[in-house]
Chain A
Amino acid sequence: MANAPLLELRDVHVHYGVIEAVRGINLTVNEGEVVTLIGGNGAGKTTTLRAISMVHGPSHGQILFRGEDITTLQSHKVVQKGIIQVPEGRHIFPNMSVAENLEMGAFQRTVARKQLDQELDHIFGLFPRLKERRKQMGGTLSGGEQQMLAIGRALMAKPVILMLDEPSMGLAPQVVELVFEVIAQVNADGVPILLIEQNAQMALQAAKRGYVIETGEIVLEDEARSLLGNDRVRKAYLGEE
């Protein structure tokens, strides 16, 4: 299918036991785009991303990647397709060094040592802080450093699409800025991005299109610029009266 979106969710439902956390959402990400999914606590954002990665798959509906249904795949197969996620809470391997964590990012690829070192250098170029700490254990890094590491590790997977779950959470303003700069740079290199955020202002400024999710349902979808001007969004997510 030549004109199929890169990633498409069709009527996706996700259950935790009897609880339905995501109730039939439709969402697309096209080549080259930054798309954001915003919503409050417990709206179902993380659940949606975990479903896409098949860490906790949908109970109903389809997730299509380049037109192919991936809901029949196991999580490692989804990763092999280049669908890469920076998870909420970072999930750094605590007893692996910074360098080892980054190398885990390239786990499913076969890369020669020399190439791997070049790729590590590229990540260290994006996040010089990580270079200083390359031998330090992941579990001993600060929150900001862990977020840089989580993003660096995801980039080591050579994503075809990169999904980030609240990358700005709990970070100092300078680090948030750095993170958004790197996201913009990755996108400029041609990688489409699905960005989940509670920081709606920054997310909508970075994105081309946006979706608003409330209690498991998409309640709004539009160009990011229009959403920034939308009354409902301004009241609920941008803290305006």
Chain B
Amino acid sequence: MSGDAPDARLGPPAETDHVPRHSLTVSVLAAAAEHTDCTFSNLALAGRVDLEKLFGGTRYEPGTGADPLAIKRGRLFEEILKKDDYAELLNLLYEHGVAIETEARIARLRDLPAPAGRSGLEVRAEATRLELVKIARRAWDAPTLIDGAVIRARIGGADAYFEADGLAAASNGALHVLEAKSFPLIDGRCDPIKLGAACAQAGLYAALVRAQLIEDHLPAETVSDSGFIVLPKNTRLGRAVLLRQNLSYHIRRAARLLELAHPDEAAVKRLAGRSFPADGTGAAERIAGLSHLMDEAGTHYRPECLEHCAAAKLCRERAYKAGRLGILGDQASREASGVESFARLLELAAGADPSEHERQSALELTRARKLYRRALKGAGP
């Protein structure tokens, strides 16, 4: 299994840059899926550049980090699920029509004797691969659940290991992705945003497993489009409930992201010789370097970036200073079609000559301005 270091430099590979990097996790990939239209972010993803670290100590520091108490809740729920050899979970799967053998076989990959760190992941990834092969071939000893699966994928020209906290359940040669989350389902309802995010993660696992099966010349359809989100039932953590979800949209989206997570050849060529700033350089220098790279690579700031990208505060400031309408969100850009900036919008509203593609917006803007002023005048003393 090759383990070549990812190239954080945008030109030819460099052995000794000091660019901070992080390992790819499913949540990093899921976050990246939200802005595949940004070249800068794609380059950072492909090079595994740790943007959070690069912005650390600057005034653009993202201020992220999960709530430790929420993490504790998640862990406790997982422990509850694992109780009695996943008895409750297996029962629920059975109720949902997933055929479970009388003797469910659980592949416990976390218990494998493996060294810590990357080589441990490699061992688990290989074990996962073998279990997947058994499922796809409907072997008599195929597992019902894989606990602690690790999926290997090639991202940005290097191997990445994804530790699935989601589990895989097999039934009749079909594999369903399971994603356990600790937000509850109450009165038949749960937080739709969190459910959407859980489905996106499950979709990524499904896409990764499919890619793995294809690599092994096995049918990708082994991974079912329908996955399960496991949630606590009611306000306490004690009982679980399964939500069957159609993941086909999320799987397609994830597959596209995996394709995109390779450095864009054209961008790499264009930016040959440039690199992300190294760790340890001064804050001002780092920001200047990042800004410069953003100028050259190109960005596509949208307000949603604030939720997903560590570079968002810098990008927002740059977009604000440039007076881009995009800082309001996609809808504003769509409504004022052909108009890029606040300054131009105000000029057009005041009656400036529009270009061909600004004509419709200009008409509406002048009218809106006139009516607005009249309304204010009418309300005046």
A binds B: no
**Residues on A facing B (Cβ under 8 Å):** none
Q: Which residues from chain B sit less than 8 Å from chain A, CB to CB?
A: none
